[in-house]
A and B are shown apart, each in its own frame.
Chain A
Amino acid sequence: MNPKRKQRLFTILGLVSGLGVAVGLVMYALSQNINLFFTPTQIAKGDAPVAQMIRVGGMVADGTVDRDPQSLRVAFDVTDFDHNVHVTYEGILPDLFREGQGVVVQGRISGDQFFASEVLAKHDENYMPPEVTEALRQSGKLDQIMGAEAK
């Protein structure tokens, strides 16, 4: 092999192996950092892992939002109309957070509570987070909700 060809071969080998290693590391990082999604029913059944970062979607159950009068601590139930998950959160809720509205919470399960580190509400009147839709679809309540929500 002449030196020129040899260099090209090595360059290509280097590129390919570099890319391979990189993609491997990326996939590893990915597997460590995805947030799985669960419905309240799955959590009630005990299907969700404890102490691991997960997402839960559903509707904020009517009459369950409870603000601590002294701090920013807030508790509410997320429901798919079959089961409820009791969520506690400390911080500012998003603008569109309301009882009876779709919400996705991210956080960890501990005991029978869900400690949320982030609360995402649907962003406008027409947009329902896909996770919420999924949770309601699984519990067969989607149609009912969509109807109740229409203006």
Chain B
Amino acid sequence: MSRWAVWAPLAIFSILVGFFFKGLTLDPGAQPSALIGKPVPPFQLTDLHTGKVLTRQTLPARPFLLNVWASWCITCQVEHPYLTELSDRLPIVGLNYKDSETAAKNWLAKLGDPYATQIFDPSGRLGLDLGVAGAPETFLVDSSGVIQLRIQGEVNDRVYQRQIRPLLETLK
């Protein structure tokens, strides 16, 4: 075969790779994050443990994680130990999502409670306003109550190191 023709397959493959790479960034599963840069939507819900009324104003006045979870969610159990570890470093506000009160309380009693406050949202209203697709989802909220980051699925050390920590440092 001639000297240049043998390079043709490589050239064609390179072009394809370019398209594939573009294709990955066009991932149909990627979720738009319309709420990033916007404040947490207003809500009026009760605390799971005390029954006190919680609103946007009762949220912590420093950067915190808003973790959407439920006792029916398997992945929530997976990320739970890591959240417990993380709760030493920054406050985590729980949003108990479409759950029953007893199931949620039992779950926390069994696995431990790393949450600073626990918003009880059995009807999923706040979840809906947050655009939650499922559980777990975690939002990084800054000290003025503005959402900075949305994580769908499990929070683990990799997610923390790569996504949460860099942002957190700019917020402090």
Q: Which residues of A contact B (CB under 8 A)?
A: 12, 128, 130, 133-134, 137, 140, 142-144, 146-151
Which residues of B sit under 8 angstroms from A133, Cβ to Cβ?
A: 28
Closest CB of chain B to A80's CB: distance in Å?
Answer: 14
Which residues of B sit under 8 angstroms from A142, Cβ to Cβ?
A: 31-32, 34
Q: What's the dominant secondary structure at chain B's contact region?
A: loop
- Cβ-based interface call for B98 (8 A): yes
A146 near B28: Cβ-Cβ < 8 Å: no
Which residues of B sit under 8 angstroms from A128, Cβ to Cβ?
A: 28
Q: Which of B56-64, B80-88, B127-135 contacts A (4 or more CB under 8 A)?
A: B127-135
- Cβ-based interface call for B122 (8 A): no
Closest CB of chain B to A103's CB: distance in Å?
Answer: 16
- Which residue of chain B lies nearest to A147 when distances are taken between CB atoms in the complex? B128
Which residues of B sit under 8 angstroms from A12, Cβ to Cβ?
A: 1-2, 5
Return the contact of A150 from the options B1, B31, B32, B134 (Cβ within 8 A).
B134
Q: How far is the CA of A130 from the CA of B35 in the complex (A)?
A: 21
- Cβ-based interface call for B124 (8 A): yes
Greatest chain B CB density within 10 A among A133, A142, A146, A147 is at A147
Which residues of A sit under 8 angstroms from B135, Cβ to Cβ?
A: 150
Closest CB of chain A to B130's CB: distance in Å?
Answer: 7
Closest CB of chain B to A58's CB: distance in Å?
Answer: 15
Number of A-B contacts (CB under 8 A): 41
Which residues of A sit under 8 angstroms from B128, Cβ to Cβ?
A: 144, 147-148
Which residues of A sit under 8 angstroms from B31, Cβ to Cβ?
A: 142, 146
Chosen A-B contacts, 19 in total, with CB atoms closer than 8 Å, are A128-B28, A130-B28, A137-B32, A142-B32, A143-B32, A143-B34, A146-B131, A146-B132, A146-B133, A147-B127, A147-B128, A147-B129, A147-B130, A147-B132, A149-B133, A150-B124, A150-B127, A150-B132, A150-B133
Closest CB of chain B to A10's CB: distance in Å?
Answer: 14
- Which residue of chain A lies nearest to B1 when distances are taken between CB atoms in the complex? A12
Which residues of A sit under 8 angstroms from B127, Cβ to Cβ?
A: 147, 150
Within 8 A of A (CB), among B1-49: 1-2, 5, 28, 31-32, 34-35
Q: How far is the CA of A130 from the CA of B23 in the complex (A)?
A: 13
Closest CB of chain B to A69's CB: distance in Å?
Answer: 36
